[in-house]
Structure 1
Amino acid sequence: MSEGASRATARAAAAERPRAHPPAAPLLRPPLLWAASAIAAMIACGIALRLGGYVGSAYSWFTLAGALDDSWMPMGRAYARITAAHPAPLYDLFFVEHVKFQYPPSSLLIYAALEALGITPGVPELNRLVWVSILAMPVLIFLICRQLIAQSPLRAGGAGPASLLAALFAGAALFFYPLMIAWRLGQVQALLNALFALACLLWLWERRLLAGLCIGLVCLVKPQFSLFLVWALIRRETAFAAGQAASLGLGLAASVALFGLGNHLDYLSVLTYISQRGEIFWDNTSVNGLMNGLMFPDEVLKFDYSAFPPPTPLVRSATLWSSVLIVAYALFPRPGARRAALLDLSTAAMAFTLASPIAWGHHYGIAFPVLVILFFALAGDPDAPRRRGRLVLWGLCLVAIGNYWNISEHLAGTLAAPLQSWRLAAVLAVLVLLHRLQAEAARPVAPAAAELDPARA
């Protein structure tokens, strides 16, 4: 046999041999690049906006600049009223004095708990709680990333690449506007963001009961997250539902005992009042905010600290039906899905936030752990062209939600005014990505594919 023929035979034999899997490290490198690029773009845009005289991002943590009392002023006045020697009806504060105390009475358990510990619940003390929550986020995000890497098809060639990717996301949390503005405002939302991130981590650790307990604590301040109980029961996630029911039930029992049943029933009137009106200010990232902006275009740049927009049939109807559709979309699992997954949990959190008539920028602090979870799901897609396209969209969502683009205020009163709803568009895009991934995961595995890949059988 000639030398050329021998070489051809050798090449043919080599082609027929099963190919070895590529080394682990290169598989992590492209996602690392995607994440680094998107995070760098988010931070660069925030800095550029700041230099241009716009908000961009919330970097007050660099200097520990003084925090405000956005949550603590109305909550403090409510707690003083309800614990006075002669308590007055709690929600006269809302309806008569026009102070926007929109939280349930159970939110005041934070004050009662601090007092029980011998701590005066003043603004400085409460903002220390906010700061602890802010500092907890990078730690929680780092642990979530490490767990996601361990469970994903992305194989790290050692601890170094995995830790670097996790550290990138952990650091990015300190530049993500909805998270950091909670410190600048003095917002209880910082604590809720940390509890949600902790719930995601506990879910990854298969600690469903404790994850549900965290969500139940969130419900004491954010009632719309009570829908997670229905979500869990539909999916037969009994441990999660039990944890949520336990913390929510005990919290409500304590709240009724301390603050009275009447004040809890009065809160239903507050919810009805708000749902019929919402807010006009353009930062209200909800269907209600969009519709109010279209109805009252001359008022989108004003935030009224003591009043709400007048109710209109169109806004009320759009708010109601959009909320019903968004909640229904989140509650019912995808056809073929066997059990709830972390993507499913993330979808519900984003949907329940979006379905509210009022959803300010800081309410989307929960979007950061969701974006991290979504990134790892997208990066593990074996279809390279589809993966690239989706990761580009994911990066645009990170840049959009991660900054405060108040440069868009120049669009108010023009034909381009709907572009002020940039965060709403990004949130919807995140929900679309979550939906597509879950729909693909729910598809039955073809028999041939199952035979070739025992892990999928």
Structure 2
Amino acid sequence: MRTYGRGKAAASVLYWSGMSPRHSDPAHGRRLLLFVLSSLVLSNFVPRVLFKLFGWGNPGSIGGMVHDFWTFRTWTDSWLPMMRSVDYFLQHPTLPIYYAPLYDTLIYSLASILPLWALKKLGMGDVAMLRFLAVTSWLALVGIAGVALAMGHKFLKARGVRMTWETIVAVLAAVLFCYPLLKGYSLGNAQTYLSFEFALLLLLWSEGKEAAGGVVGALLAFVKPQYALLLIWMAVRKRWNATIAFLATSAVLLLFSVIVFGVHNNLDFLHVLAGLSKKAQSHYGNQSMFGTLNRAIGNGENISYTPLLYTPYIRWVYLTTVSTALVLMGAVLLFPWGKLRASAADLAAMGIASVAASPMAWEHHYGIVCGVFAWVWFAYGCWQHKRPWVLGIASLFTMNAWLAFNKAAPYHGWNIIQSYMYFSALLLVVVLMVLARKVTRGEAEPVI
């Protein structure tokens, strides 16, 4: 086993790796911890030092988000339109919900607000409900760490390797300081729940509990419609238990939604979806092809943000966004996954594609990569003979905040580096595909 020197933080990141197959040396935990800590130093402290030396101002940090998390403080990005939609319906049960004069419009299906409707009917007030949402989304974020550790326990135990305290600390640090997760929690966005659900989906799938995975997939899709692509994936992969569970759960959710909110309100969601296909924003937080192209040509806002101000429509940008989305989804569905076909790796790639293909893929939407990285690392990464450099790079730029790249905002074309999270997520899909080829060729051990 090679050891690490005492190089700079950058060298520490480059020299992270896994252990050889079947070894019981606990070094894999130390290496993971070193990588996680080095990543946090590189992304949060090194830019501040450089910006101060060159007089470039403040590069930004996750400090405020960390404070929000540990003090149970959230904003109301998702919560307010969801709560106000419930209030509007209770006051005006015959009027269309999606056209209510709220401060912001509801963009989720009505089934997603059924829990809030139930809490309102039980007499919970707004303050108590916001507190409830803050606490439960906090628990969801912590739950992602729990799921990641459960994955680690499963794969390490299967190979006769114990989980060390270094591994536990590394996982907790990676999740609790993950930029997309902290951003979603701080905003008060429903994505925090979805990131937990996706991690749980990967764990269930790796344990062969495909029907339960189908239920979780449906819950994801009824908040973010792009996750309906998971149903297509399940059907194409002929995972019929999961497909049936997905459809059955969807039917139940839709039935309850129709009973509570009526047929007309639920049908209005189709018009919302049609409108969203051409409405997106070019703010740097939109880590998608749409955001990348518009920022590159200087169309719309970049650093500043104005709610409900959508980027002016440009036909070729829209067509390119749609084309790349179709290519990405087609690549995942048609790729010859070999021995990993219909595996958690295949499913993870489809989940990432579901996010990245959207014209509006905010930074916090990439919180699902936490579960993906946990699966890849414990299932394969820490057993590889060669150091997984590409996986490390994808993790470094997907899970951490590189807000210093916003310095490139005024430089059209060059400012594509602001889309580091989008490109790194695509790189993670490539990692999964390469892994599938290695397993199929016998160059890596099959997943346990």
Question: 1:37-436 alignment to 2 at 5 Å?
Answer: 37-48=34-45, 53-57=58-62, 58-60=65-67, 63-64=70-71, 66-93=73-100, 99-115=104-120, 119-120=124-125, 122-151=129-158, 155-156=160-161, 159-161=162-164, 164-297=166-299, 299-332=301-334, 334=336, 336-337=338-339, 339-379=341-381, 382=384, 384=385, 387-388=386-387, 391-415=388-412, 416-436=414-434
Q: Deviations over 1:220-246 (max 9, x none)?
A: 101111111111111121122222222
Q: Which residue identity does 2:416 align to in structure 1?
A: P
Q: Which residue identity does 2:426 align to in structure 1?
A: L
Percent identity over paired residues: 24
Which residue pairs with 1:18 in the alignment?
none
2:282–2:300 contact (8 Å) kept in structure 1: no
State how far apart, in whole Å, the 1-side matches of 2:235 and 2:396 are.
35
Give the Å deviation of 1:338.
7.1
2:84–2:102 contact (8 Å) kept in structure 1: no
State how far apart, in whole Å, the 2-side matches of 1:273 and 1:82 are.
22
Q: 2:34 aligned with 1:34, yes or no?
A: no
Q: Deviations over 1:188-213 (max 9, x none)?
A: 11111111111122222221111211
Q: Which residue identity does 2:87 align to in structure 1?
A: A
Give the Å deviation of 1:325.
1.5
Q: Deviations over 1:143-167 (max 9, x none)?
A: 111112234xx542xx353x64244
Give the Å deviation of 1:397.
2.0
Q: 1:209 to 1:335 in 2, by over 3 A?
A: closer
State how far apart, in whole Å, the 1-side matches of 2:105 and 2:440 are.
43
Give the Å deviation of 1:252.
1.3
3-state SS in 1 of match to 2:91 = coil
Task: Please report the RMSD computed on the Cα atoms of aligned residues, expressed in angstroms.
Answer: 2.8
Q: Which residue identity does 1:222 align to in structure 2?
A: K
Q: Which residue identity does 2:107 align to in structure 1?
A: Q
1:334–1:442 contact (8 Å) kept in structure 2: no
State how far apart, in whole Å, the 2-side matches of 1:399 and 1:380 are.
16
State how far apart, in whole Å, the 2-side matches of 1:23 and 1:400 are.
30
Which residue pairs with 2:55 in the alignment?
none
Which residue pairs with 2:15 in the alignment?
none
State how far apart, in whole Å, the 1-side matches of 2:22 and 2:409 are.
53
State how far apart, in whole Å, the 1-side matches of 2:389 and 2:132 are.
42
State how far apart, in whole Å, the 1-side matches of 2:332 and 2:125 are.
40
* Structure number with higher relative contact order (C-alpha < 8 Å, ≥ 6 residues apart): 2
Q: 58-67 or 37-46: which moved more? A: 58-67
State how far apart, in whole Å, the 2-side matches of 1:63 and 1:348 are.
32
Q: Which residue identity does 1:432 align to in structure 2?
A: V
Give the Å deviation of 1:171.
3.4
State how far apart, in whole Å, the 1-side matches of 2:70 and 2:150 are.
26
**Which structure has the larger Rg over C-alpha atoms?**
1
State how far apart, in whole Å, the 2-side matches of 1:22 and 1:309 are.
50
Q: Which residue identity does 1:425 align to in structure 2?
A: F
2:108–2:224 contact (8 Å) kept in structure 1: yes
Give the Å deviation of 1:23.
7.5
The TM-score normalised by the length of structure 1 is 0.83
Unaligned runs of 5+ in 1: 1-20
Q: 307-316 or 288-297: which moved more? A: 288-297
The TM-score normalised by the length of structure 2 is 0.84
State how far apart, in whole Å, the 2-side matches of 1:131 and 1:381 are.
32
State how far apart, in whole Å, the 2-side matches of 1:259 and 1:298 are.
36
2:288–2:358 contact (8 Å) kept in structure 1: yes
2:329–2:353 contact (8 Å) kept in structure 1: yes
Which residue pairs with 2:23 in the alignment?
24
Give the Å deviation of 1:275.
1.4
Q: 1:126 to 1:62 in 2, by over 3 A?
A: closer
1:343–1:374 contact (8 Å) kept in structure 2: yes
Count, aligned residues = 415
Give the Å deviation of 1:301.
1.5
Unaligned runs of 5+ in 2: 1-19, 52-57
